[in-house]
Structure 1
């Protein structure tokens, strides 16, 4: 067998250990207090933090249809550079992923490239038109684990009820983009003082919260596994907390940008900060942080959304919503939770790897760092200062909202089933 030694690493930021990886089988062969010296390749981890490979439940890789902004290949590169070994790419492509053969093509292309497991998300409705359900059963049999009309909400309550029932029958996750379109219209900013000051049409919290409440009740009555995309308000946190207290099978994600950024960023009218749902106020960000800490919100998901400059360097209300996230998410979570002492690396592993893998029932992702487990791993230097620059991203696009911000945690290596998919020298 071909072997790789990862010596002098700190799993979960704890005691120093050494790993011997069987690259042939893609598993961790042995964990020891003693360094391995006879492996085919030996890497000195220099005391850096080792985590299970990250899992992102929510990305947009734009292929098919907008390969000018991202492809499965460039998105996989960005994922590997960010420490991810699995991502779920949303269905709002052109054509929409609403047929089994399209989902199978996305999966096959990701596997062929080999940098990251790229799971296709099937659309809930045909063409994302909100009128007729897709063949959820056929797509589930083709391996689709999650369905979403992300970018749009399934506003029709009768259609959403049927979707919940079908999803339950096929034991797949239904992920909702919670937005009552009748309340948002042409809104581009959070409804608050900042939007009023800037003359931007406001997007009220109730547009999200009303859908969350409706869907939680439907899930209570009709069952199934319901997942909320990009929770963004204090009220949504309260609704999720109530739903979970009632035993409703609801999970939720929060994005790094909704944790770190607020609507004060809109003062310059920079289209980089246009996102859906919009950046909210400080009290919303604080509520989301606490909800992630106490488990009311389950995971961090990036909502990685590449756009070209022609879609961002325009008037704010005309800018396309979305931000890059794959290459900065770990650094953002580290800054908010680990640097401040709010949480440790075990928490990071939970919300960025273990819990998303559990929700999506991935057998070989988000696993413990132990002998016999899959060698899906990320090595992080927690004391390596770097500055986010869009032009230096592995993504095909450059629309990062963190331009010029300095972070202190950097991914230095990523392995997918023992195969090296990224090392720090790749970006030098």
Structure 2
């Protein structure tokens, strides 16, 4: 398939480009980029008029729960990637808390083989410890050889710090990234929302900020002690932002992500006791939200991911018993554009959602350089829309943005030159 995208504003932070022009791709690769590629129109099988649209590298979501294998009633590889395409995500990192857990080469190969032909590039993290129990290391080398690109026990911290240290030391030797769920399980036990005035008023058990902050401090200290890199997942507190900022100043090799729901929403959303607003870490205070915005602005927080966590409506029906988690890939760009309007430039937002996560993971993505895969998202940064949870493309509906007015809409997504989403045909 040969395609010509005409008259787009091309934004590519990896090559520091931001100009009005055209993109041409053939055989799945970007083969020409310039201010006017009219002379190539005759060679194109399709011409896409992108006047008024942004053309950017496909987004890289480095924190996704595909629920496959084991929980495919919530999501599977193909429905998850369909939702990804609708959100402009062309590469994603699947988390390993599946059933069975992603702790054997066989399970890693199952996921990667199943994802062939899906609407996004699927990468996977493998477990640091067997069955995510936090006490016994997996066969790290065998998991890498099977195709995993990162290690994580996401959903739980690695309880045994010796296991964590060993994984941190060995991961760089294997060309792998360790992504860390930072939480003190004793402090968080039984909590359903942020611990504070609102939780006390509602009579709901809370999770204190210290649960995350203590976990973040431990991961930073562990990485610093062995001179290894570590990536901190789903940062939600002002304390963690301060810890990461200080660690970077000291030369610790730490990177971090946050999620759009922490940028737009606060614990006040829990007043309605709707479990779609329950996730872990929980929505925090306005002071925490402002600290996250500042952390993105000054570079403390490197990336924006979604922690896309599908659950069925039946599971989410009971506020007190529902599992934590919300979906987010399809709304991530719009929610980030809305939250960061006037705080980051468009190029900086794209960098946080595409180029930076690709660099952290060491994958060939996040760029519109010549010869790169033709993974492209076209979006209208000014188009306002209301999130209808029943019109989303995955299996689950548990979005915390339901009914919200967002600004910025994905119009089309291309994966290696193949159009995997086109809003004009919906």
Question: Do structure 1's residue 162 and structure 2's residue 161 form an aligned pair?
Answer: no
Contact 2:235 2:256 in 1 (8 A): yes
Distance 1:361 1:276 in 2: 27
**Displacement, 1:12?**
2.0
Question: Do structure 1's residue 323 and structure 2's residue 322 form an aligned pair?
Answer: no
TM-score (normalizing by structure 2): 0.95
Q: Deviations over 1:290-318 (max 9, x none)?
A: 1011110110000000000111110x231
**Displacement, 1:41?**
1.1
Select the residue among 71, 75, 79 that pairs with 2:76: 71
Contact 1:8 1:45 in 2 (8 A): yes
Distance 2:257 2:382 in 1: 27
Contact 2:60 2:357 in 1 (8 A): yes
Q: Secondary structure at the match of 1:248?
A: coil
Contact 1:413 1:420 in 2 (8 A): yes
Q: Deviations over 1:340-387 (max 9, x none)?
A: x22221111110000000001112x011x3433321110001222221
Q: Deviations over 1:99-124 (max 9, x none)?
A: 112112211211233x1001111011
My pick for the range that moved more, 273-282 or 13-22, is 13-22
Q: Deviations over 1:238-275 (max 9, x none)?
A: 10011111111111110111111100011111111111
Q: Secondary structure at the match of 2:50?
A: strand
Distance 1:208 1:336 in 2: 23
Contact 2:207 2:282 in 1 (8 A): yes
Name structure 1 gaps, 5 residues minimum. Answer: none
Match of 1:388 in 2: 387
Q: Deviations over 1:212-261 (max 9, x none)?
A: 11221111111322111101100001100111111111111101111111
Question: Do structure 1's residue 27 and structure 2's residue 27 form an aligned pair?
Answer: no
Match of 1:274 in 2: 278
Question: Do structure 1's residue 237 and structure 2's residue 238 form an aligned pair?
Answer: no
Q: Secondary structure at the match of 1:91?
A: coil
Question: Do structure 1's residue 55 and structure 2's residue 60 form an aligned pair?
Answer: yes
Match of 1:97 in 2: 102
Distance 2:229 2:108 in 1: 21
Distance 1:224 1:85 in 2: 29
Alpha-carbon distance change, 163 to 15 in structure 1, aligned in 2, over 3 angstroms: closer
* Alpha-carbon RMSD: 1.4
Match of 1:265 in 2: 269
Match of 1:360 in 2: 361
Contact 1:26 1:419 in 2 (8 A): no
Contact 2:135 2:159 in 1 (8 A): no
Match of 1:407 in 2: 406
Contact 2:275 2:317 in 1 (8 A): yes
Match of 2:213 in 1: 209
TM-score (normalizing by structure 1): 0.95
Match of 2:346 in 1: 345
Distance 1:37 1:124 in 2: 50
Alpha-carbon distance change, 349 to 133 in structure 1, aligned in 2, over 3 angstroms: same
Contact 1:124 1:147 in 2 (8 A): yes
Distance 2:33 2:286 in 1: 46
Distance 1:67 1:215 in 2: 32
Match of 2:48 in 1: 43
Q: Secondary structure at the match of 2:308?
A: coil
Distance 1:107 1:371 in 2: 27
Contact 1:254 1:299 in 2 (8 A): yes
Distance 1:34 1:47 in 2: 17
Q: Deviations over 1:126-150 (max 9, x none)?
A: 1111121111111112221111111
Q: Deviations over 1:159-192 (max 9, x none)?
A: 2222222223323111111111111111111111
Name structure 2 gaps, 5 residues minimum. Answer: 13-17
Match of 1:227 in 2: 231
Q: Deviations over 1:17-73 (max 9, x none)?
A: 011211x14223343324342112111112201111000000001010111110100
Distance 1:25 1:305 in 2: 30
Match of 1:80 in 2: 85
How many residue pairs were aligned? 419
Contact 1:54 1:84 in 2 (8 A): yes
Q: Secondary structure at the match of 2:178?
A: strand
Q: Secondary structure at the match of 1:66?
A: coil
